Amino acid sequence: MALIGTDILKAAAILKQNALVAIPTETVYGLAGNALNADAVTKIFETKNRPSFDPLIVHIHQIDEVTKYTPQFHPTLAKLAEAFWPGPLTVLVPRREIIPDLVCSGLPQVALRVPAHPLTLALLKSIDFPLAAPSANPFGYISPTMPQHVAAQLGDKIDYILDGGPCRVGIESSIVGMEDDELCMYRLGGISKEEIEQVAGQQVLIKSQVQEKVLAPGQLSSHYAPDKKMILGDIAYWLANTDPKEVGILSFSKIYDEVEESRQIQLSVKEDLREAAQNLFAALRILDNMPVTTILAEPLPDIGLGRAINDRLKRAAVGKAD
Ligand code: TXA
Ligand code: MG
């Protein structure tokens, strides 16, 4: 079983041997390995059971390191990185050869980000390589926002989980890139479209619709999915059409009288989208472990962070691919 602790030296020692460590970030926990070492990267794919066509984000310590991994940092992306790093923003840039093919699934670009967590920043500073880290969950399942979530699912496959407490943001980073001079967003996440547009001074083209043909493989429709059947819609309508004893509820703030309170989770009683994002994945896990057959969830207001939350809810409701 993996040890859970706050020993950065231990984490660094394991990583230097090209083995894996789970690391905290402000978004979700990552399953980290040396991004410049093909063996370590292979272990990440194996441990997560992740298809090799789904590329990994490379975590760096500070913005100055970007040019080591790309010959070309578009000024708009540089501006965004200046504004939001360390933070939940990932930029797609052309990659240099030092990054193994496997990290990028053979794609021409590499995804880079500086995470905003003091433990992980200290860890990155103490080693001389960047860390490839996908979310530390089995492929397709709900992302972990607490060390215990990682231990429950990958605990028998890794040696160490660096304990940074619960994740402050709770959903993954927003992924942006340039197509000519067009600023595109490939994954909705911790920084909203509105915030990005304001800093960039240009419109963002969203390229991450759930139904659309996949552009980035991690954008598979079914993702972040509980094992239970999940329905996303008008909860009151679905309650009238299902047995209330069989369901668990995930609402923004409401309580539904038809269902026992212990089977209901409110993402934010005061309807705060940040708080809702923070609670989302842990709530899905709790509901997935309740003695119910179906999870009923409702979409949140489709603005700011609400858009990223709704994206995760939609993918969770599509269900597992297998
Ligand atoms: O918040 C986050 O970004 C977390 C924490 C751990 O940093 N990481 C994360 O990684 O969410 P992951 O593996 O679950 O999502 C990575 C996604 C891929 O599925 C893909 O959509 C995109 O990032 N991506 C990564 N590298 C890419 C590349 N070279 N080209 C295109 N898309 C890429
Ligand atoms: Mg993931």
For a substitution probing ligand 1, which of 21, 49, 56, 219 has the most ligand atoms within 8 Å of its CB?
56
DSSP characters over 287-313: HHTSS-SEEEE-PPPSSTHHHHHHHHH
Look at residue 223 in the predicted model and tell me its pLDDT: 74
Look at residue 214 in the predicted model and tell me its pLDDT: 44
HSE-up of residue 249 (Cα within 13 Å, Cβ side): 26
Report the chain's mean pLDDT, rounded to a whole number.
94
8 A C-beta contact, residue 221 and residue 315: yes
The pLDDT of 153-164, averaged and rounded, is: 97
Rg of the chain's alpha carbons, rounded to an integer? 19
The pLDDT of 85-109, averaged and rounded, is: 97
Look at residue 41 in the predicted model and tell me its pLDDT: 98
Q: What is the pLDDT of residues 180-202, one digit of tens each?
A: 999 999 999 999 999 999 999 99
217 pLDDT exceeds 70?
no
Look at residue 322 in the predicted model and tell me its pLDDT: 38
Give the distance from CA 11 to its chain's centroid: 21
Confidence of residue 224 (pLDDT cuts 50, 70, 90): confident
Expressed in angstroms and rounded, the spacing between residue 146 Cα and the centre of ligand 2 is: 14
Structure tokens at 37: 């070492």
For a substitution probing ligand 1, which of 27, 61, 90 has the most ligand atoms within 8 Å of its CB?
90
Ligand nearest to the CA of 171: 1
What pTM does this model have? 0.94
Look at residue 212 in the predicted model and tell me its pLDDT: 41
Look at residue 215 in the predicted model and tell me its pLDDT: 47
Is there an atom of ligand 1 within 6 Å of 30 CB? yes
161 pLDDT exceeds 60?
yes
Look at residue 208 in the predicted model and tell me its pLDDT: 80
The pLDDT of 236-259, averaged and rounded, is: 94
Look at residue 100 in the predicted model and tell me its pLDDT: 96
Look at residue 221 in the predicted model and tell me its pLDDT: 64
Ligand nearest to the CA of 224: 2
Is there an atom of ligand 1 within 6 Å of 102 CB? no
Structure tokens at 118: 């003091």
Is there an atom of ligand 1 within 6 Å of 222 CB? no
Confidence of residue 26 (pLDDT cuts 50, 70, 90): very high
What number does the ligand 1 atom closest to the CA of 172 have?
A: 1
313 pLDDT exceeds 90?
yes
Confidence of residue 134 (pLDDT cuts 50, 70, 90): very high
Residue that has been written with the tokens 């369901």 in this structure: 247
- Of 270, 268, 236, the closest CA to residue 252 belongs to 268
Confidence of residue 25 (pLDDT cuts 50, 70, 90): very high
Look at residue 210 in the predicted model and tell me its pLDDT: 63
Structure tokens at 81: 């990185």
